[in-house]
Structure 1
Amino acid sequence: MMLAGYGILAVVLVLLPPSATPAGIADCDLGVGNTYVGNSTFEANLNHLAAELPGNVSTAHTGGFAVATVGADPDQVFALALCRGDVNATACRACVAAAFVDGKNACPGINGVTVYEDACVVRFSGQRFMDFLSPDQWQVTEMIWVPEQASESVNAPAVGWFNAAIAKILAALVDHAVATATGNNSTTKKYFATGEEDFDPNIYGFAQCVPDLTQEQCKECLNTFLFQAKQVYFGKSLSWVGMNSVWCRLMYSVRPFYGGRAMLQLSAPPPPAAEAPVLSLEPGAGKKKSAAGIAAVVASSVVVLLILSFFAVVLFRRRSKVTETDHQLRKITRAQCLIFDLPALQEATDNFSDNNKLGEGGYGIVYKGVLSDGQEVAVKKLLGTSEHGLDQLQNEVLLLAELQHKNLVKLQGFCLHQGETLLVYEYVKNGSLDNFLFDTSRGNTPNWEQLYNIIFGIAKGILYLHEDSSLRIIHRDLKSNNILLGEDMEPKIADFGLARLLEEGHTNTRTTRIVGTL
């Protein structure tokens, strides 16, 4: 899957039992028109691809990657297969063949399926998903990805040290995989890297991109996963974590899972600084140990100052120039968007009590809350916090924090706490427009003047998004329950989780997937 159309239900099914490496999973696109019937022309074309592609992808000249198309519109089937760079031809062919079988079994009658096996990725669809790689379509923030993680933790010497080791090997893998695009070694697979790090326990990893990506696209894809890994999984000591998309994969494990010698051999990062020694009062040893203690303190202070200086330089550079590879969450600090802690929001909402529930949708539950200073807020607790919640958080925070208009709901801040992902909005007293339009039991149907003002306010908000704001934004999920009504029935457009940002000067764009609400 490639575009973030979360209004279309995507179901992820685990196909294989847990192991030292990730289990195979199938990602099913359950959208409008994403089905086919048995014994149809589409199924015949799919079966033809399932028979031909495993042999094509495993030939010497393909390097473990192939795309194919069979049939004619409207029964065309498009497919992609990519084997992990260390897998031989026989294993590659077997993996791709198994992926087709697993995908059809896990998602029967669905014409858009991505299967992530241990040694390969297979995607088949009735849509031209490769168009997503064209320069006018590629938006890494719309890339759908499926995370996997171990259920067990590692008995590491220190969680912080283990996380530093993970960060080191993943960053090195990203850099090396991207660099293979310009290498002259014919035996090196494009956009593929494996690594081994000397730690206790040893850490193994791999990074890979689809060869059809540009070097910049591969870099953006893998760096997105690297950032997500730091945000979601650090603070833990999981034995393995994998992040998968059609376009790239990034993984580490404390057990070897690829063949051959690792392309990168890394040393462990230095351990955390030890505590300064306690000064002894034993006769004859005081001066020596005092001098040693003072030297340790001085050395530690110098190290701390160097670290602080480094971060100060980095912070200054980030403030002075935002690079294109900045992840969206890094831009929040420039937008005056508050960061709330989870206990404060739990207290404000009476621990997310049902009595404070304002509504529930496909992406989260909204609660009324009262902050310690008496300010009323609406707290949206996102569902699917692995990839869906974090993607929506990024989109919503980046867009709303930069937008100021009376007909757009105001974002007060956000909270990202382990598995919890929450957005904090201004509290809008009268709820959503659909309650007034369709809930006849309320007995408060708006009159024509109120309806006219609501229509006019929505139009002004959309005009601001399309033409007058510094960012050109397409909402993509405008509906009555995403219009909130203030005390004077002033409309406010809400829920920007599916919004799409267009580049400056663009007046049109194309997409291969429908998004929004059915």
Structure 2
Amino acid sequence: MQFLISFTLNFLIFSSLLSSTYANFADEQRYNICTNAANYTNGSLYSRNINATLFSLTNASLTGFATTTIGLDPDTVFGLVQCRPDVAENDCRACINTASDEITQFCPNKKQAMIGYGNCSLRYSDFRFFSTATNDLIVYYRNTMNVNDSNLFDKQLVSLFQNLSVSAAANDTKFAVGAIGYSLFSDIYGMVQCSRDLPENGCLSCLQAIIGFIPQCCDKKQGARIFTMSCSLRFELYAFFQTSSPPISGMLSPPPPLPVSTDEPSSVPTSSSDGKFYYCILSS
């Protein structure tokens, strides 16, 4: 079977004996993961249960997180939707509505699918995935720009994500953001998030897996975003998260600026990470 990865101006095909999965990225604002493990036909009971699942998730009492179970076996659909806790309620609602409208467009006839954006993600499946970490499928987006002092950057990045992952896993929101000093000119900003249904150890193990993946995908890069179906992270040399209500959990106070390399850039990027989308399978 084949693993097809589609990203802006770039197409890669991976061959594997694992079940087929398709990941698509139109731009940095959206990604979707569609597995071909099982398909459904239009107009079937499963199809109608997906529609009911999406309706239930978009009309749930908005707390930034909701799950639902629709139908009876073998046509049961399990659904989950989640927003970033630092996103305003109206932005969360708009994102969920978009996700509900687009997931079946980008993953047509797939019994297992996920779609994500900057503010939210939505997932459904024909098996009960609640409270279970799924981190074998990884998609990532990285900046094309490299840092100048990679040794210092890596050291600070590890320290930042160690703190954020522990904080997020122990927090009910399963979310944490923070910053750590990197140079006289810039700090490193980081964010981690797990699906809120995960237990503490499940969240922590998922985050540790993708943190450990950074050297493989994004070594020396100024920024990157890494996603699985159960957790995600992001780091940049500029503040990309909200700092107003609701309160952000896990905020770290940046330490005093560290010594700067002589070739350190004198400005901080103000735009989103540019680069390419990639997709890989970590395990079966």
Q: TM-score range by the shorter chain?
A: 0.7 to 0.9
How many Å separate the matches in 1 of 2:222 and 2:188?
9
Identical amino acids, percent of aligned pairs: 24
Kept after mapping to 1: 8 A contact 2:224/2:234:
yes
Q: Residue in 2 aligned with 1:207? A: 192
Q: What is the RMSD of the two structures over their aligned residues, measured on CA atoms?
A: 2.7
The 3 A distance-change label for structure 1 pair 83 and 269 is same
Greater relative CO (CA pairs within 8 A, separation 6+): 2
> Residue deviations 1:148-172, cap 9 Å, x none?
2234215x44222222232222222
**Amino acid of the structure 2 residue aligned with 1:124:** Y
> Residue deviations 1:181-201, cap 9 Å, x none?
xxxxxxxx5321111234433
**Amino acid of the structure 2 residue aligned with 1:224:** A
**Amino acid of the structure 1 residue aligned with 2:241:** Y
Q: Secondary structure at the match of 1:73?
A: coil
Say yes or no: does 1:387 pair with 2:280.
yes
Say yes or no: does 1:30 pair with 2:15.
no
Q: Residue in 2 aligned with 1:177? A: 168
Stretch moving more, 199-208 or 73-82: 199-208
The 3 A distance-change label for structure 1 pair 165 and 75 is same
Q: Residue in 2 aligned with 1:125? A: 125
Residue in structure 2 matching 1:191, options 165, 174, 187: 174
- TM-score normalised according to structure 2 size: 0.77
Kept after mapping to 1: 8 A contact 2:156/2:181:
no
Name stretches of at least 5 consecutive residues in structure 2 with no aligned partner. 1-15, 263-277
Q: Residue in 2 aligned with 1:153? A: 145
Q: Residue in 2 aligned with 1:415? A: none
Kept after mapping to 2: 8 A contact 1:243/1:251:
yes
TM-fit CA distance, 1:113: 0.4
The 3 A distance-change label for structure 1 pair 72 and 251 is same
TM-fit CA distance, 1:55: 2.8
How many Å separate the matches in 2 of 1:253 and 1:57?
33
Kept after mapping to 2: 8 A contact 1:26/1:102:
no
Q: Secondary structure at the match of 2:47?
A: helix
Q: Residue in 2 aligned with 1:87? A: 87
Specify which structure has the higher proportion of helix. 1
Corresponding pairs, count: 247
Q: Residue in 2 aligned with 1:254? A: 237
> Residue deviations 1:275-314, cap 9 Å, x none?
xxxxxxxxxxxxxxxxxxxxxxxxxxxxxxxxxxxxxxxx
Residue in structure 2 matching 1:164, options 143, 155, 172: 155
The 3 A distance-change label for structure 1 pair 273 and 100 is closer
Kept after mapping to 1: 8 A contact 2:31/2:117:
yes
Q: Secondary structure at the match of 1:173?
A: helix
Q: Residue in 2 aligned with 1:264? A: 252
How many Å separate the matches in 2 of 1:55 and 1:209?
22
In our comparison, the structure showing a higher alpha carbon Rg is: 1
Q: Secondary structure at the match of 2:60?
A: helix
Say yes or no: does 1:7 pair with 2:18.
yes
Q: Residue in 1 aligned with 2:268? A: none
Match runs of 1:447-486 below 5 Å:
none
